[in-house]
């Protein structure tokens, strides 16, 4: 026996989009492998479906024209299916009365269906009558007819049928019954009155167009449902005032032949009562995010479905197994939403062999029409930092439940959608900017809770502490970012007793959120979320917020010094969790010169406040700065060291401890640069640090800006450089 030559066909008419053409590719592979070449293989390459078979091009076309035996697709449970008096019977009668061998299986299935529906004068009513008819069909049908039924519907735990979105509600889309149209297209392609069911004129040209995209002007005016949105027709869609619907009947026929591969497995059916639209492979609830035309109205009952693209030549049993067991998991649980699938894809938590997914949403467009809209391509490959999303998504899931409540304000839903979009970006692109955008969106959603305290009271909590890994995942080389972190990564005493136990010091986060003593939950009362005792920066711009923070911290520090003179907190209004998290002088200089973006700094600060800076896994991230000296730096240095975060240790061994004085800060907030400088210089001189500068002047606006800059923590290198700037005798700090 000689080895047969294998022909590889590039089916340019079969591409991942639209859905009709994707399903057409599956239909061709299924039919060829079932009847003509059981070893036929198919795969996707360069957005085209490839078919490897012993059939050459002529033989492949000849099989479909002369040997193809259509799968008996029937839906007697639907009105318009051809089984009832008012239905269009062109297709069903033509096939039922045909004597051609290619329609033998179809004739048998039609006869069986007519038998089980013989007692009905009209379509069965929803409920018991329809369920009984479906059960009767399931008992009497065999082979591909039963596979079609399994693709069109699944049975839930309660015994009720549930309908995967791809095939509408059991093989129909509104008044359009897919099976009746399928039979009508067959009657249009083949001469059902001939002995062989021979192809009609132009059937071969239509087939070539469906396979190879050859030009064809013989398209039919017919409906194709949600599978081919571009053929839906619209005003000004062609010559004249209204567009017509041009359909290649082979596209419709082969599309439905391919849909049979989406029959639901037992495991999927068992979940169907809880998740009806996910009773089919890779189908999940709609997210309404992750694509350009997204809208909150897109989160409908039909959900979305992700179509796998594989690049390995696969036989039909492998492809059938892929779809029958098609599922994805995230952290050991089934993916139930689009964001879950995106995260699973980014972590390779899907069936082996898939290298891409084409995402489709079953969405209302063009009026109330449901269309299978392509929503983008997702690569299956491991992406960095995906484990971090495990920490954020439980909080976002809770936000979704709250935001979709009918009483929730619209702003809360918008905040949730921003978070969801950011999750998609993190899964799809995994750029540092995407993870930063996610934290910013979460911070803004957190702020929305405070806008509706009564509604949010028993429903929400602050963002849980996030691991330090987030900081490296979101890092960017910009002054805005470093200043945001330098503001957020600080803590200090707010206890009136001046308690020196640093475990009880509070983060600056308490100035934006009304946190209880644990620091993890909202302070709540009878009227919802209470206004926290230290919540003073919420709703303020960056400059006012930082000034208010310093004012509160200095006030608490002075109270502590008064009530507990032996406390060691009286000189530390704010302390960085780790010195390397502080800002550089160049960042502060850019802030003082208004070269940074205040809104961006504040957004970043609010975003990173949820990171657990107290843990010691944070790596060194500080880069050395240039050794510069100018008047502004000297001015800032004198003022900043008069409001220190730590003692200054010199190389000689001397230790200089400057006690913070709120008066210096008050002078700055009043715009008195000269007075604040003189007072600060005197404080430093008394501590043994004589400044090189003796006088300083500045406008009112500079004083306020300097006061705002006092709230940013400085990294250890910058702190030393400032000390060198002000020391007159040249002794260096260590």
pLDDT given for residue 382 in this prediction: 87
pLDDT band at 634 (very low <50, low <70, confident <90, very high): confident
**For the chain, what is the mean pLDDT?**
85
Give the containing element (helix H, strand E) for 3. none
For residue 586, pLDDT beyond 80: yes
Burial degree of 74 (CB within 10 A; 0-12, 13-18, 19+): buried
Tokens 């009668």 sit on residue: 93
Comparing 195-204, 506-515, 647-656, the range with the smallest average pLDDT is 647-656
Q: Six-digit token pair at 7?
A: 């022909």
pLDDT given for residue 684 in this prediction: 86
For residue 266, pLDDT beyond 50: no
Comparing 337-346, 385-394, 608-617, the range with the smallest average pLDDT is 608-617
For residue 168, pLDDT beyond 90: no
Comparing 18-27, 170-179, 494-503, the range with the smallest average pLDDT is 494-503
CA 553 – CA 418 distance, rounded (Å): 33
- Give the whole-number percent of the chain exceeding pLDDT 90: 51
CA 618 – CA 472 distance, rounded (Å): 8
Q: Which of 271-275, 290-294, 711-715 has the highest average model confidence (pLDDT)? A: 711-715
Comparing 64-78, 332-346, 358-372, 656-670, the range with the smallest average pLDDT is 358-372
Q: Give per-residue burial for 351-377: e unless 16+ CB within 10 Å, then b.
A: beebebbbbbbbbebeeeebbbbbbee
Task: Give, rounded to a whole angstrom, the gap between the first and last alpha carbons of the chain.
Answer: 87
pLDDT given for residue 506 in this prediction: 84
Looking at per-residue pLDDT, the higher value among 48 and 234 belongs to: 48
Pairs from 555-559 (Cβ < 8 Å, separation ≥ 24): 555/662, 556/492, 556/493, 556/494, 556/495, 556/496, 557/492, 557/493, 557/498, 557/660, 557/662, 558/662, 559/496, 559/498
Distant-in-sequence, close-in-space partners of 471: CB < 8 Å, separation ≥ 6: 485, 608, 611, 618, 621
The DSSP string of 345-412 is HHTT-S-TTEEEEEEEEEEEETTTEEEEEEEEEEE-S--TTHHHHHHHHHHHHHHHHHHTSTTS-HHH
pLDDT given for residue 647 in this prediction: 74
For residue 279, pLDDT beyond 50: yes
Give the containing element (helix H, strand E) for 240. none
Looking at per-residue pLDDT, the higher value among 243 and 558 belongs to: 558
Cis check: omega of the bond before 143, within 30 degrees of 0:
no
pLDDT band at 732 (very low <50, low <70, confident <90, very high): low
Looking at per-residue pLDDT, the higher value among 557 and 190 belongs to: 190
Q: What is the pLDDT of residues 641-688, one digit of tens each?
A: 888 877 777 666 677 777 787 899 999 999 999 999 999 988 888 888
pLDDT given for residue 542 in this prediction: 97
Average pLDDT, integer, range 106-123 = 93
| Residue 231 near residue 245, CB atoms below 8 Å | yes
| Residue 491 near residue 609, CB atoms below 8 Å | no
CA 231 – CA 553 distance, rounded (Å): 66
- Cα 87 to its chain centre, rounded Å, is 44
pLDDT given for residue 600 in this prediction: 97
Tokens 């002794």 sit on residue: 731
| Residue 447 near residue 538, CB atoms below 8 Å | yes
Looking at per-residue pLDDT, the higher value among 637 and 279 belongs to: 637
For residue 565, pLDDT beyond 50: no
Nearest alpha-carbon partner for 372 in 385, 384, 360, 359: 360
Q: How far is CA 402 from CA 222, 249, 412, 459, 521, in A?
A: 44, 47, 8, 7, 17
For residue 495, pLDDT beyond 90: no
Q: Six-digit token pair at 557?
A: 């520090």
Comparing 31-40, 518-527, 541-550, the range with the smallest average pLDDT is 518-527
Looking at per-residue pLDDT, the higher value among 367 and 99 belongs to: 99
pLDDT given for residue 173 in this prediction: 83
pLDDT band at 571 (very low <50, low <70, confident <90, very high): low
For residue 538, pLDDT beyond 70: yes
CA 689 – CA 657 distance, rounded (Å): 10
For residue 626, pLDDT beyond 60: no
Q: Six-digit token pair at 566?
A: 């032996």
CA 428 – CA 287 distance, rounded (Å): 15
Beta-bridge mates of residue 242? 235
pLDDT band at 611 (very low <50, low <70, confident <90, very high): very high
pLDDT band at 271 (very low <50, low <70, confident <90, very high): very low
pLDDT given for residue 602 in this prediction: 97
Average pLDDT, integer, range 201-228 = 85
Average pLDDT, integer, range 632-638 = 89
Looking at per-residue pLDDT, the higher value among 161 and 53 belongs to: 53
pLDDT band at 568 (very low <50, low <70, confident <90, very high): very low
Its pTM stands at 0.86
For residue 240, pLDDT beyond 50: no
Average pLDDT, integer, range 607-618 = 80
For residue 238, pLDDT beyond 50: no
Distant-in-sequence, close-in-space partners of 159: CB < 8 Å, separation ≥ 6: 131
For residue 408, pLDDT beyond 70: yes
pLDDT given for residue 487 in this prediction: 96
Burial degree of 628 (CB within 10 A; 0-12, 13-18, 19+): exposed
Distant-in-sequence, close-in-space partners of 477: CB < 8 Å, separation ≥ 6: none
pLDDT given for residue 497 in this prediction: 47
pLDDT given for residue 363 in this prediction: 84
Q: What is the pLDDT of residues 416-462, one digit of tens each?
A: 999 999 999 999 999 999 999 999 999 999 999 888 878 887 788 89
Q: Six-digit token pair at 183?
A: 């039979």
For residue 291, pLDDT beyond 80: no
Nearest alpha-carbon partner for 370 in 244, 247, 238, 228: 228
- To 10 degrees, the CA torsion angle through 80, 82, 85, 89? 120
Looking at per-residue pLDDT, the higher value among 212 and 501 belongs to: 212
pLDDT given for residue 499 in this prediction: 47
């Amino acid at each position: 026996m000689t080895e047969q030559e294998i022909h590889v066909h590039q089916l340019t008419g079969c591409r991942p989009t639209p859905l009709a053409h994707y399903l057409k590719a599956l239909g061709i592979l299924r039919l060829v492998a079932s009847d003509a070449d059981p070893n036929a293989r198919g795969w996707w390459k360069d957005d085209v479906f490839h078919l490897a078979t012993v059939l050459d091009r002529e033989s492949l076309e000849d099989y479909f024209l002369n040997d193809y035996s259509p799968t008996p697709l029937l839906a007697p449970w639907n009105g318009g299916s051809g089984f009832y008096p008012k239905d269009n019977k062109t297709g069903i009668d033509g096939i039922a009365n045909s004597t051609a061998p290619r329609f033998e299986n179809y004739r048998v299935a039609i006869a069986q269906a007519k038998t089980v529906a013989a007692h009905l004068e009209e379509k069965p009513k929803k409920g018991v009558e329809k369920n009984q008819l479906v059960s009767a069909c399931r008992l009497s049908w065999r082979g591909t007819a039963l596979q079609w039924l399994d693709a069109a519907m699944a049975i839930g735990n309660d015994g009720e049928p549930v309908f995967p979105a791809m095939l509408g509600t059991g093989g129909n889309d509104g008044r359009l019954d897919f099976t009746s149209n399928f039979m009508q297209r067959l009657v249009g392609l083949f001469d059902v009155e001939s002995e062989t069911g021979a192809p009609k004129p132009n059937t071969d040209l239509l087939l070539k167009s469906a396979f190879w995209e050859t030009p064809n002007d013989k398209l039919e005016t017919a409906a194709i449902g949600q599978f081919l949105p571009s053929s839906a027709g619209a005003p000004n869609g062609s010559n004249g005032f209204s567009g017509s619907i041009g359909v290649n009947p082979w596209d419709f026929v082969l599309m439905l032949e391919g849909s049979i591969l989406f029959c639901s497995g037992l495991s999927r059916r068992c979940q169907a009562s809880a998740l009806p639209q996910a009773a089919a492979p890779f189908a999940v609830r709609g997210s309404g995010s992750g694509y350009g035309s997204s809208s909150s109205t897109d989160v409908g009952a039909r959900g979305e479905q992700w179509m796998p693209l594989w690049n390995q030549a696969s036989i039909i049993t492998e492809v059938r197994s892929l779809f029958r067991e098609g599922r994805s998991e995230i952290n050991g649980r089934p993916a139930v939403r689009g964001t879950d699938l995106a995260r699973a894809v980014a972590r390779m938590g899907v069936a082996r062999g898939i290298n891409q997914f084409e995402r489709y949403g079953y969405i209302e467009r063009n009026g109330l029409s449901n269309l299978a809209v392509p929503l983008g391509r997702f690569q299956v490959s491991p992406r960095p930092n995906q484990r971090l999303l495990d920490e954020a998504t439980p909080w976002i899931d809770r936000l979704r439940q709250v935001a979709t409540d009918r009483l929730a304000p619209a702003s809360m839903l918008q905040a949730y959608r921003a978070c969801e979009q950011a999750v998609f970006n993190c899964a799809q692109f995994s750029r540092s900017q995407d993870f930063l955008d996610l934290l910013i969106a979460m911070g803004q959603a957190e702020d929305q809770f405070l806008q509706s305290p009564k509604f949010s009271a028993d429903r929400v909590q602050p963002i849980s502490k996030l691991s330090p890994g987030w900081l490296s995942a979101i890092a960017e080389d910009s002054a805005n970012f470093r200043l945001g972190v330098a503001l957020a990564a600080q803590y200090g005493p707010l206890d009136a007793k001046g308690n020196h136990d640093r475990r009880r010091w509070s983060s600056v986060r308490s100035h934006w959120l009304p946190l209880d003593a644990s620091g993890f939950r909202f302070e709540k009362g009878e009227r919802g979320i209470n206004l926290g005792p230290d919540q003073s920066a919420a709703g303020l711009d960056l400059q006012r917020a930082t000034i208010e923070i310093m004012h509160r911290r200095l006030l608490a520090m002075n109270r502590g010094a008064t009530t507990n003179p032996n406390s060691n907190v009286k000189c530390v209004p704010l302390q960085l969790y780790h010195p390397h998290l502080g800002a550089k002088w160049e960042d502060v200089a850019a802030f003082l010169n208004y070269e940074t973006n205040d809104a961006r700094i504040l957004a970043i600060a609010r975003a990173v406040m949820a990171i657990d800076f107290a843990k010691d896994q944070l790596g060194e991230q500080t880069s050395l700065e240039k050794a510069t000296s100018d008047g502004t730096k000297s001015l800032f240095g004198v003022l900043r060291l008069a409001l220190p975060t730590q003692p200054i240790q010199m190389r000689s061994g001397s230790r200089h401890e400057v006690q913070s004085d709120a008066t210096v800060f008050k002078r700055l907030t009043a715009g008195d640069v000269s007075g604040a400088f003189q007072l600060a210089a005197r404080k430093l001189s008394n501590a043994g640090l004589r400044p090189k500068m003796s006088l300083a002047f500045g406008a009112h606006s500079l004083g306020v800006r300097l006061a705002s800059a006092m709230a940013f923590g400085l990294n250890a290198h910058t702190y030393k450089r400032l000390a060198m700037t002000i020391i007159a005798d040249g002794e260096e700090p260590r």
